[in-house]
Amino acid sequence: MKRITAVFLCAVFILVLAGCKTDKHETSSAQKLNSSEIQKTDGKIAENGFDEKFISYIDENLSGNYMVSPLSFRYALGLLLAGAEGETKAELLKALNVEGVDEWTAYCKKFNEFENRFYERLKSDVKRYDEDVENGYVDKQSKAPERALKVANSVWKRENINEDFKSDYKNYICKNFGAEYKTFNKSNLVKKVNEWASEKTEKLIPKLLPDSYDTSDIAVVLMNALYLKNNWINEFEKANTKTDNFKTKSGKTVKKSFMSQTEHFNYYSDADTQMVILPMNSDVNMAFVLGDTSEIKNKISKSSYKNVTVKIPKIDIETSLNNKELIDFLKDNGVKNAFLKDTADFSGMIDRKIWVDDIIQKTKIKTDENGVEAAAVTAILMMDSAYIQEDKPVEFTADRPFSFYIYSNFEETNTVLFAGRVEE
């Protein structure tokens, strides 16, 4: 049976994706997709296996508790793919199992639509709550609906690079990803990136890059941030939360805080898998899985409504993929040129020789009796081969007698107001 260490933590992101149905009508001509590059089946964008492949790779290469975000990685790769050309683009498309850039982008666009629907549902729930309070159906002291789903993308360029991002690239990622444009220099990159990550994740991920991160040759940064805060439809009673034993993979017994309730939920079981799905507001769910997680989306579709006693531990996990795990995943799937100085081709993005140097993802999740708060930030950091060295500063150390002058400058005449000397 396949190891499933904390794989259910990924389900909150997988299931949000699984809920992205294709609308029967197009919202506007500007949002129309290239039908020749998008595979559709029964009104839904065809799955290409990326989520499962990515999660499986991380599951096999990480030990202990973890969480990853396939969706955040998808968005960041979308920003990269939109600027790739030639063999670099071909390798990425093959590795990602799509025929064209628009096919990959379409998946992200459908989630953008889901984000809009999420807030439409929230707006409707708040309106109904206000009406119920006004009519006396709900106590004024009761908690109003409160939840959040945020997706943010940004593209960054070093300040001393004269070349700008190409207009076609900017138009494409603006239209499809709503990307912000930022600038940085080597001294403020870490601070700016961390501030952006913190802002977009409601401070859940305040620091993506360590202070010691080498920024000297970074030319371009592509970033995605994903944030979710949502409540269980059937919240857990705090009085039912008890400390109990949890048996780790190594066989050790540890104490954890378990939430419990008995309610009707979607449930699935077979010889190798047991799964319960807890619904949250605005069409978001979280699946908890014991046993085999293969073909998880198929199993989710086969779940049925049953009376279930659920007992699950609270979760508080933070994961950093900052040791080339994401690069190794892409390399294992045939991507080579994107990481090579001499062969990388991102000429669709900018007229400058750049290549991918690092890909980092940081995630965090917390669950309690009320619901879930989770976030992810993914950054693709790209280097260039023509870094402009700044002039080496000359030194001036006034550690011996010196003079000083205070003067004004008016009509090319320097007028000394004060002058003096320090020698003791």
Nearest to 147 by CA among 179, 178, 115, 177: 115
Whole-angstrom distance, CA of residue 67 vs CA of residue 320: 9
Per-residue model confidence (pLDDT) at position 133: 79
Q: Which CATH number fits domain 7-230+315-384: 3.50.50.60, 3.40.50.620, 3.40.50.1820, 3.30.497.10?
A: 3.30.497.10
User: Does residue 8 carry a pLDDT above 60?
Assistant: no
Per-residue model confidence (pLDDT) at position 3: 41
In the chain, the N- to C-terminal Cα span, in Å, equals: 80
Q: Where are the domains of the chain?
A: 7-230+315-384, 238-313
The β-bridge partners of 157 are 183, 220
Give the pairing type, strands 148-158 and 180-184: parallel
Per-residue model confidence (pLDDT) at position 416: 59
Per-residue model confidence (pLDDT) at position 63: 87
The β-bridge partners of 356 are 382
Q: Which amino acid is at 67?
A: M
Query: What angle do the packed helices 50-61 and 11-18 form, to 10 degrees?
Result: 170
Per-residue model confidence (pLDDT) at position 12: 44
pLDDT digits (tens, 9 = 90+) for 158-197: 999 999 999 999 999 999 999 999 999 999 999 999 999 9
Give the best-scoring range by mean pLDDT among 7-11, 34-38, 203-207. 203-207
Whole-angstrom distance, CA of residue 69 vs CA of residue 60: 16
Q: Would 7-230+315-384 and 238-313 be classified into the same CATH topology?
A: no
Measure the CA dihedral 29/31/37/42, to 10°.
Answer: -100
Q: Which residues contact 379 (CB under 8 A, 6 or more apart)?
A: 76, 193, 208, 209, 221, 222, 223, 358, 359, 360, 361
What is the residue whose two structure tokens read 């507001």?
A: 281
Contacts 24+ apart (CB under 8 A), 235-238: 235/369, 235/370, 235/371, 236/260, 236/261, 236/368, 236/369, 236/370, 237/261, 237/369, 238/369
Per-residue model confidence (pLDDT) at position 11: 42
Average pLDDT over residues 204-229: 96
Instruction: With cut-offs at 50, 70 and 90, classify the pLDDT of residue 6.
Output: very low
- The pTM for the full model equals 0.81
Per-residue model confidence (pLDDT) at position 392: 62
The DSSP code for 361 is E
pLDDT digits (tens, 9 = 90+) for 128-164: 878 877 778 878 777 878 899 999 999 999 999 999 9
Instruction: With cut-offs at 50, 70 and 90, classify the pLDDT of residue 420.
Output: low
pLDDT digits (tens, 9 = 90+) for 43-54: 344 467 898 899
User: Does residue 35 carry a pLDDT above 90?
Assistant: no
In this structure, are residues 229 and 17 in contact, taking their beta carbons and an 8 Å threshold? no
pLDDT digits (tens, 9 = 90+) for 286-337: 999 999 888 888 899 999 999 999 999 999 999 999 999 999 999 999 999 9
Per-residue model confidence (pLDDT) at position 411: 59
User: Does residue 352 carry a pLDDT above 60?
Assistant: yes
Whole-angstrom distance, CA of residue 59 vs CA of residue 65: 10
Reduced DSSP (H G I as helix, E B as strand, rest coil) percent helix, strand, coil of the chain, to 5: 30, 35, 35
Per-residue model confidence (pLDDT) at position 144: 79
Range with the lowest mean pLDDT among 30-44, 81-95, 182-196, 259-273? 30-44
Give percent of the chain with pLDDT exceeding 90.
66
Nearest to 280 by CA among 72, 65, 11: 11
Tell me the pLDDT of the chain averaged across its residues: 84
Give the best-scoring range by mean pLDDT among 274-283, 299-308, 344-353. 344-353
Per-residue model confidence (pLDDT) at position 146: 87
Q: Which CATH architecture has domain 238-313?
A: Roll (2.30)
Per-residue model confidence (pLDDT) at position 23: 33
User: Does residue 370 carry a pLDDT above 90?
Assistant: yes
Per-residue model confidence (pLDDT) at position 204: 97
Cα–chain center distance at 113: 17
